[in-house]
Amino acid sequence: MSATARSPVLPYLIACLLGVLAIAGFWYGLGQPVILPDAATPTHKLKCVSYTPFDKDQSPFDQPFVPRIERMDADLALLATRFECIRTYSQSGLEALPGLARKHGLKMMSGAWVNSNEADTQKEVNALIANANANPDVISSVIVGNETLLRKEITAPQLVKLITQVKSQIKQPVTYADVWEFWLQHPEIAPAVDFLTIHLLPYWEDDPAGIEQAVNHVAQVRQEFGNKFAPKDILIGETGWPSEGRQRETALPSRVNEAKFIRGVVTLAEHNGWNYNLIEAFDQPWKRASEGAVGGYWGLFDADRQDKGILAGPVTNLPHWPAWLGLGVALFTATLMLGGRVRSTRSALLLPALGAVAGCSLVAWVELILVTSRFAEEWTWAGLLIALNLTVLTHGALALGQQQGWRGRLFNLLERHAGCWIAAAGFAGAVMMLGLVFEPRYRSFPSAALVLPALVYLLRPVRGPRRELGLLALIIGAGIPLQLYREGLNNQQAWVWALVSVLMVIALWRSRRQ
């Protein structure tokens, strides 16, 4: 028997071993815990944290919104182990909160929601006044409006009038809260308040600060305000970092980066004697509807009230990485079973490589879907992309096998429609590229959804509709420099998407020429 006729067992076994190691290394690397200095300990409580009473299936848009007393009670019991006070943003539905705060030994910075509806605003202000007067032992200060000037819902003179009304009827200090730039744009607000409440969120800045510069940015702005508005005190009313979501320039969301930022800011603030409030107590899934995936992941605890490791102890970006590793190995095994007996040394090397790519990229896409998907349309789109990836994976695996029996029949079926698969992948790539070019702010980078189709049809071009594939390649290719320009050249997620897009363009062009 000739050497070429023998089954290439040894290369195949080596490639399989390397494929499993690659999958294991990929997921273990993402889940590796990081040790950082603790911010909170059993004997050291932090200042304050933003709290909203929504369970993971609730939002302020629920009509009517009915807070769950048992949930608020359990939440405050948990927060009391780490914090001295909580900050709230509205009076609606929170009538029981001061009593619960008293029960758990927490102080409150109580807020009134101010918006363009005069009647609703006055209702909130009246409730704030009544609540502050009824609970002077719990409510230590009040906040009249949150980022109202940022949203352009009322004017600065109207805001001053509301602040003056509240100050005349309560004994607690009164403030207003907004992004720090808006205090500089509206300095007439400062004389009306007892202290200034500024929001410092480096991730959301017009010029986002990466995690290495973020804490210093907070320090510089706080120092500037302390000098400019002395002798009035400055409260850092919101500061935090997201644990999930898309990268903005050098600002990368992750649990490790959230922990680095929070622990760094707490250390800095307590060293300098600054008052601060962290955003926020718990992840808020409802915020993803208006802010993209990143909006739902600013919590120190997740939506199920599980500790994310942000304040103390080791922290990992992917706490459930063993489950993703298991799914990756399962996909790898399924790929080998689909391919069956390999035909050559080339197939013996490529089939395990295909399984390893699937075990990393396709599983990463599933993980991203669970984080980012918000609406039925997004779930449907994500599901279609999973189906496409599984079809391409099956097609690629069968192309590398011996194609006998049911494998041969299935391969022939998929091969007849191969132009549909490459066109579908190109269409998905073009749609996602257009979104990232024209409306990128709240969109995550979908690189993991296209890695598998791009590589499969790059290495094995198929015959597809020439005009359509050419047009899709043109759209994706033209979008690559545009999205890099918008995102900045230091955005690693944008570069990964650009690389995947280049592979997809080549795959489309090669199939166009078949």
In this predicted structure, the answer to whether residue 79 has a pLDDT above a threshold of 90 is yes
Task: Report the predicted TM-score, pTM, of the whole model to 2 decimal places.
Answer: 0.93
Q: Find out whether 249 and 484 touch, Cβ atoms under 8 Å.
A: no
Q: What is the mean pLDDT of residues 234-239?
A: 98
Q: What is the mean pLDDT of residues 214-220?
A: 97
HEC assignment per residue over 242-308:
CCCCCCECCECCCHHHHHHHHHHHHHHHHHHCCEEEECCCECCHHHHHHHCHHHHCCCCECCCCCEC
Q: How many CB atoms lie within 10 A of CB 90?
A: 19
In this predicted structure, the answer to whether residue 507 has a pLDDT above a threshold of 60 is yes
Q: Find out whether 293 and 246 touch, Cβ atoms under 8 Å.
A: yes
Element holding 158 (H helix, E strand): helix 156-167
Q: What is the mean pLDDT of residues 222-248?
A: 96
In this predicted structure, the answer to whether residue 238 has a pLDDT above a threshold of 70 is yes
Tens digit of each residue's pLDDT (9 = 90 or more) over 253-271? 999 999 999 999 999 999 9
Q: How confident is the model at residue 72 (pLDDT cuts 50, 70, 90)?
A: very high
Tens digit of each residue's pLDDT (9 = 90 or more) over 168-199? 999 999 999 999 999 999 999 999 999 999 99
Element holding 61 (H helix, E strand): none
CA atoms of 330 and 500, how far apart (whole Å): 24
CA atoms of 387 and 382, how far apart (whole Å): 9
Arithmetic mean of pLDDT over the chain:
95
CA angle 364, 458, 394 (to 5 degrees): 60
List, in sequence order, every beta strand (DSSP E) within 104-166. 107-112, 139-146
CA atoms of 54 and 72, how far apart (whole Å): 9
State how far Cα 32 lies from the chain centre.
19
Tens digit of each residue's pLDDT (9 = 90 or more) over 272-315? 999 999 999 999 999 998 899 999 999 999 999 999 999 999 99
Q: How many CB atoms lie within 10 A of CB 279?
A: 21
- Taking CA atoms, 134 is separated from 125, 128, 162, 170, 459, in Å, by 14, 10, 20, 10, 72
Torsion of CA 29, 30, 32, 36, to 10 degrees: 130
CA atoms of 302 and 243, how far apart (whole Å): 10
In this predicted structure, the answer to whether residue 3 has a pLDDT above a threshold of 70 is no
Q: Which of 120, 119, 137, 139 is nearest to 129 (CA)?
A: 139
| Helix-helix angle 376-400:363-372, to 10 degrees | 180
Say what the pLDDT of residue 6 is.
58
Q: How confident is the model at residue 2 (pLDDT cuts 50, 70, 90)?
A: very low
Report the greatest alpha carbon distance in the chain: 99
Q: How confident is the model at residue 165 (pLDDT cuts 50, 70, 90)?
A: very high
CA atoms of 334 and 359, how far apart (whole Å): 10
Q: How confident is the model at residue 4 (pLDDT cuts 50, 70, 90)?
A: very low
Say what the pLDDT of residue 8 is.
87
CA atoms of 76 and 70, how far apart (whole Å): 10
Q: How confident is the model at residue 234 (pLDDT cuts 50, 70, 90)?
A: very high
> Which of 5-9, 297-301, 402-406, 466-470 has the lowest average pLDDT?
5-9
Torsion of CA 460, 462, 468, 471, to 10 degrees: 20
Say what the pLDDT of residue 7 is.
61
Tens digit of each residue's pLDDT (9 = 90 or more) over 26-40? 999 999 999 999 998
Q: Find out whether 462 and 452 touch, Cβ atoms under 8 Å.
A: no
